[in-house]
Structure 1
Amino acid sequence: MALALSALPLSLSLGAPMAGPASRAAVSMQAYGAVAPTAGVAAGVAAGGPMAGPGVDSSILVQGGSLRTWSYRSPSVEQVQVVLSTEGRPLDADIELWQGPDNTPCKMRVYVENGQLRPFSAVVETPRGPNTIAIRNIGQVEFPLAANVVADNVDAPSAECLDTRMTIQGGALRTYPFDPTVDSVQVLLKTDGRPLNARIELLQGPNNNKQVIELYTEDGLDRPFFCILETPGSGNVVRVVNTAPVEFPMTASVVPNSINEQMGYEAVLGGDVVLGGDAGW
């Protein structure tokens, strides 16, 4: 009898023999039903997938000198949008499209003076997957950048942008000045199937490059280039240069994307310089 009484607390402390079916079901739900969804949400947020909430930023920080890749195995992904920004520091990056081993059908070099004021946003055509987007931060370690590559809700050129194309012969250039009311512009470059080599510059003042894009595409008809340039302030001029030989012409379209009607034309003391204007003393 003493042995049975001494064994009773041991059974109660272990708890396993005394648990009924309801208790075992509760334990199972606590062990498996609560942990799995939490892990799934964490994985979705980390991957920036559909389980991430609308307020979650899916950008990835790319340190200076490092490389990040985004792979899309589905052939249904025909274009992706690349967005690069910083916290106000300069942005210097290489963007490449990899399709198969040792095949780079599109690549570009991007420089932005202020990645917070003028974030880089471009659409990369990715027909016939699988494709991989590679972004390399070629700046110093003190200049990290935030990169985001998405395949949903990709920007598309407007009807005005598609209808106002102009031919730029090889080695030639064209300039497009814009009013201070224009906050951003659309740039669309295409060819008739030949390779596309171009340089896009955003200037604000004489030879003052705020943003430079050096572009190569092996087929300008199958993989046209489209981007949106932020143009805050006044005195903005977009310069498009066809760096290819004379045998490789291209068509370019540069039109306003967004207009701020509240932006005034008058010079502001302590603000941007207005070319040809006075300070209004």
Structure 2
Amino acid sequence: MKFYGSILALCAILPSSSAFYAQAPKTTVSPLFGYSGGNDPGAPPAVRAVGPGGPAGAVSPAEAQRAKDIWETSSPVLVQGSTLRTWSFPNPQVERVQVLMKTEGRPLHANIELWQGPDNTPQKLGVYIEDGSVRPFCAVIETPRGPNAVAVYNTGNLEFPFSACVEAAGPKGPVAKGTSKMTPRTIQGGALHTYPFAPQVQSVQVLLKTDGRPLNARIELLQGPNNIKQVMELYTEDGLERPFYCIIESPGSGNVVRVLNTAPMEFPLSACVEPYLVENGPEVTISEGLPGGNIGELRW
């Protein structure tokens, strides 16, 4: 009897078996952006958002799931080689759209244009990705003063189709002038700056902006010497009203993001390049809001 009593006392002081379960990934919000998605007070805090000023509430599980199955919840369009597809947004309240593209493992060649009125193209973007499955394309285009239309043109051959999805990305207006603990780097016209990242960084977020002048830039992802995995050629008529934000997938080691200001000396730009998704063993840190969801209000 004493033996069984000792066993029962030992079981009473042991921790619960739930302590051996895998912990949910932790999420932090970068000071570059403020997540403004809907927080459900009654929902379980599956993901905890922690900003520079302290806890910012729990991201709803629906938004977390949306980040994973954006291609299932959306309606992607298959764009064949040398074909054009357009998405119209006649509603003037749509002031920001998100563009997603991917392939089934083949290269991706595309041109993206923002149309606003007849013969008015305030923003152009040329994209090359070596493998559109490993590194899908994700970018945000500001669309103030609608109606607007986004045109996606597959400049590759017929053997290289890709899937594209363009949808509204949040009710907020253009980039707001806010405060941030992160200081953007000024890149003068014709200058080049590189940002190396550790192998734990799985994706990188890039934000380019000017003081109202045109924005001309080239963004490259390199993995090893002279091994270019992704290239983006950007032109924006007004870099203050239409800044450029994108997420670059950077799996593996030896990743370097290179930003080149292709404009003359009189047209500098401000660049913020920082990790987006960081893996630290079993813990995953997301430095920003959920891709594909309400990315919130861009802040500087």
TM-score in terms of structure 1 length: 0.71
Selected match of 1:107 from 100, 105, 124 = 124
Whole-angstrom CA distance in 1 between matches of 2:181 and 2:246: 13
1:78 has 2:90 as partner: no
Measure how far apart 1:164 and its partner are.
3.0
Measure how far apart 1:238 and its partner are.
0.1
AA matched with 2:143: T
8 Å CA contact 2:95–2:143 kept in 1: the answer is: yes
Selected match of 1:149 from 148, 166, 191 = 166
Q: Which has the larger Rg?
A: 1
AA matched with 1:205: G
Whole-angstrom CA distance in 2 between matches of 1:248 and 1:228: 24
Measure how far apart 1:163 and its partner are.
2.1
Which structure has more helix as a fraction of its residues? 1
Q: Deviations over 1:177-221 (max 9, x none)?
A: 000000001100000000000000000001111000000000000
1:166-181 matches, within 5 Å, as 166-181=185-200
Selected match of 1:187 from 187, 206, 217 = 206
1:248 has 2:274 as partner: no
Whole-angstrom CA distance in 2 between matches of 1:207 and 1:152: 35
Identity, in percent, stands at 64
Whole-angstrom CA distance in 1 between matches of 2:181 and 2:139: 16
What is aligned with 1:135?
152
8 Å CA contact 1:161–1:255 kept in 2: the answer is: no
With a CA cutoff of 8 Å and minimum separation of 6, indicate the structure with the bigger relative contact order.
2
Q: Deviations over 1:88-135 (max 9, x none)?
A: 000000000000000000001000000000001000000000000000
Measure how far apart 1:152 and its partner are.
3.5
1:1-281 matches, within 5 Å, as 55-153=72-170, 163-262=182-281
- Alignment RMSD (CA, Å): 2.3
Measure how far apart 1:150 and its partner are.
1.1
Measure how far apart 1:236 and its partner are.
0.1
Whole-angstrom CA distance in 1 between matches of 2:195 and 2:152: 29
Which structure has more strand as a fraction of its residues? 2
Measure how far apart 1:54 and its partner are.
9.5
8 Å CA contact 2:96–2:170 kept in 1: the answer is: no
Unmatched 5+ residue regions in structure 1? 1-52, 264-281
Measure how far apart 1:55 and its partner are.
4.5
Whole-angstrom CA distance in 1 between matches of 2:179 and 2:98: 21
Q: Deviations over 1:14-49 (max 9, x none)?
A: xxxxxxxxxxxxxxxxxxxxxxxxxxxxxxxxxxxx
- Where 1:163 maps in the other structure, the secondary structure is coil
